[in-house]
């Protein structure tokens, strides 16, 4: 492969983020293709036995085996690292495998992790239940109360793991404050940046040590592939994550890496356009007689509105949730189901981060595996509906939601 770089590495530092999204990490082959090449190969031919030995020993750069690395995957990692302002990045097959890789790389039996109650459902399950089998301890605290995170610190605390804004209530936590709590305790902070993406929020600049992504969401942005990533220092990626990747193999497929790499090119304009629609929809829902409450960081009624605006480039993001008016949980569930089943265009889907608006009932789907107590702590009521706003015209989105809302 000809490694001629259209933009030399040392010139990249001066470029704006929108430029990096389309120009960082382009490795052209001898054919001079303008769009990034897709290298579908599981193995690599070695130039000599000596070179192969050096590469396997880590003394020389060069690809050896698909589980360890791939040029297309490396391009995605470099571009995402550039957007997050991180030294390095390691991509994975899904967002959950990125969390597993991080935990396997950083924790051993007896170590302690602190997360918030309102993390992604599978994250609570993985850290609170599955890793507990291997002796990893965990505490779950209030998303927004920094003192609760501080009080949960133990001598064995190695990692604080936060998600902001959260799914589905869009609770916001103070990244800089949590970074201080972690560092004062000799622990690391990881932020799941799935909802805001580097287009709106860059946790590393606020003191976070690791940024975790589900590339399945906004990074791909068009609902096509699964992907995940960890952005961090070179030292963490090389010393803590790479050895686990080599032995455990949660490797991102080159095709999926290529799809996400191209998705990054439009990330910023998609996030801006989808957030503008989410803001308009939040205001419309707030004024709707059938709606009890709207959760959206862009609204001044949101409890952490000011923090969110400061931390997220003045933007609320593309996800909101709302509660239908109801007398009790049973009626809430019945009315939420009525709204979902009355839709004719919007997609009833638990995914998010698509150009198509996706609407879901968290209590019976994404948060369905949680116990009733966990679900209440996460604030997920039976009348709650989540909307991941896409790129349709705002009037069409409102009309489709209004079919059910106005006939409750």
Ligand X SMILES: *Cc1c(COP(=O)(O)O)cnc(C)c1O
**Interface positions with ligand X (CB under 6 A):** 94-96, 120, 123, 163, 167, 192, 194, 214, 216-217, 226, 228
Min dist CB 217 to ligand X, Å, is 6
Whose Cβ is closer to ligand X: residue 388's or residue 401's? 388
Strands 347-348, 358-360: parallel, antiparallel or unpaired by DSSP? parallel
Whose Cβ is closer to ligand X: residue 169's or residue 194's? 194
Strand order across the 112-116 sheet: 88-92, 228-232, 210-214, 188-192, 157-163, 112-116, 137-141
Q: Which of 199, 197, 206 is nearest to 173 (CA)?
A: 206
Min dist CB 406 to ligand X, Å, is 30
Whose Cβ is closer to ligand X: residue 221's or residue 228's? 228
Whose Cβ is closer to ligand X: residue 95's or residue 316's? 95
Min dist CB 182 to ligand X, Å, is 19
Min dist CB 121 to ligand X, Å, is 9
Q: 25: cis peptide before it, omega within 30°?
A: no
What are the tokens at 359? 């609407």
Residues 6+ apart with CB under 8 A from 114: 138, 139, 140, 141, 149, 152, 153, 157, 159, 160, 161
Cα end-to-end distance, the chain, whole Å:
62
Whose Cβ is closer to ligand X: residue 20's or residue 260's? 260
Q: Which of 114, 116, 122, 76 is nearest to 96 (CA)?
A: 122
Min dist CB 407 to ligand X, Å, is 31
Q: Which of 187, 148, 151 is nearest to 171 (CA)?
A: 148
d(CA 190, CA 187): 10
Whose Cβ is closer to ligand X: residue 225's or residue 242's? 225
Q: Which of 129, 133, 138, 145 is nearest to 161 (CA)?
A: 138
Min dist CB 270 to ligand X, Å, is 16
Whose Cβ is closer to ligand X: residue 159's or residue 185's? 159
Whose Cβ is closer to ligand X: residue 259's or residue 291's? 259
The CA-atom distances, in angstroms, between 130 and each of 123, 125, 127, 134, 136 are 10, 6, 6, 8, 9
Q: Which of 101, 100, 102 is nearest to 208 (CA)?
A: 102
Whose Cβ is closer to ligand X: residue 127's or residue 185's? 127
Strands 188-192, 210-214: parallel, antiparallel or unpaired by DSSP? parallel
Three-state DSSP class for residue 16: coil
Chain centre to alpha carbon of residue 88: 17
């Amino acid at each position: 492969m000809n490694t001629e770089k259209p933009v030399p590495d040392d010139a990249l530092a001066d470029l704006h983020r929108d430029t990096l999204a389309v120009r960082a990490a382009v490795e052209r082959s001898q054919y001079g293709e303008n769009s990034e090449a897709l290298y579908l190969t599981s193995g690599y031919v070695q130039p000599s036995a000596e070179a192969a030995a050096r590469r396997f020993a880590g003394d020389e750069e060069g690809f050896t085996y698909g589980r360890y690395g791939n040029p297309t995957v490396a391009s995605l990692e470099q571009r995402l690292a550039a957007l997050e302002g991180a030294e390095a990045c390691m991509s994975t097959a899904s967002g959950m495998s990125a969390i597993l890789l991080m935990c396997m790389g950083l924790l051993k039996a007896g170590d302690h992790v602190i997360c918030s109650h309102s993390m992604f459902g599978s994250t609570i399950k993985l850290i609170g239940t599955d890793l507990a089998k291997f002796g990893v301890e965990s505490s779950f605290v209030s998303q927004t109360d920094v003192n609760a995170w501080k009080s949960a610190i133990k001598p064995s605390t190695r990692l604080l793991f936060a998600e902001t804004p959260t799914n589905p209530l869009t609770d916001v936590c103070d990244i800089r404050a949590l970074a201080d709590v972690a560092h004062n305790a000799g622990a690391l902070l990881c932020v799941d940046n799935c909802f805001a993406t580097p287009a709106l929020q860059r946790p590393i600049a606020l003191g976070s040590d690791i940024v975790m992504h589900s590339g399945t969401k906004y990074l791909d942005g068009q609902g096509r592939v699964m992907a995940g990533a960890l952005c961090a220092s070179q030292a963490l990626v090389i010393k803590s994550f790479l050895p686990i990747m080599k032995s455990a193999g949660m490797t991102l497929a080159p095709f999926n890496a290529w799809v996400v790499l191209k998705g990054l090119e439009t990330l910023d304009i998609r996030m801006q356009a989808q957030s503008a629609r989410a803001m308009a929809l939040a205001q419309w829902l707030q004024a709707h007689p059938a709606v009890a409450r709207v959760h959206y960081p862009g609204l001044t009624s949101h409890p952490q509105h000011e923090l969110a605006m400061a931390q997220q480039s003045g933007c609320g993001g593309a996800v909101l949730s709302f509660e239908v008016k109801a007398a009790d949980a049973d009626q809430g569930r019945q009315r939420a189901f009525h709204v979902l089943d009355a839709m004719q265009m919007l997609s009833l889907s638990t995914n998010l981060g698509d150009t198509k608006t996706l609407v879901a009932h968290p209590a019976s789907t994404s948060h369905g595996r949680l116990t009733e107590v966990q679900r209440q702590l996460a604030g997920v009521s039976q009348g709650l509906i989540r909307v991941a706003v896409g790129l349709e015209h705002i009037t069409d989105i409102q009309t489709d939601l209004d079919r059910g809302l106005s006939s409750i």
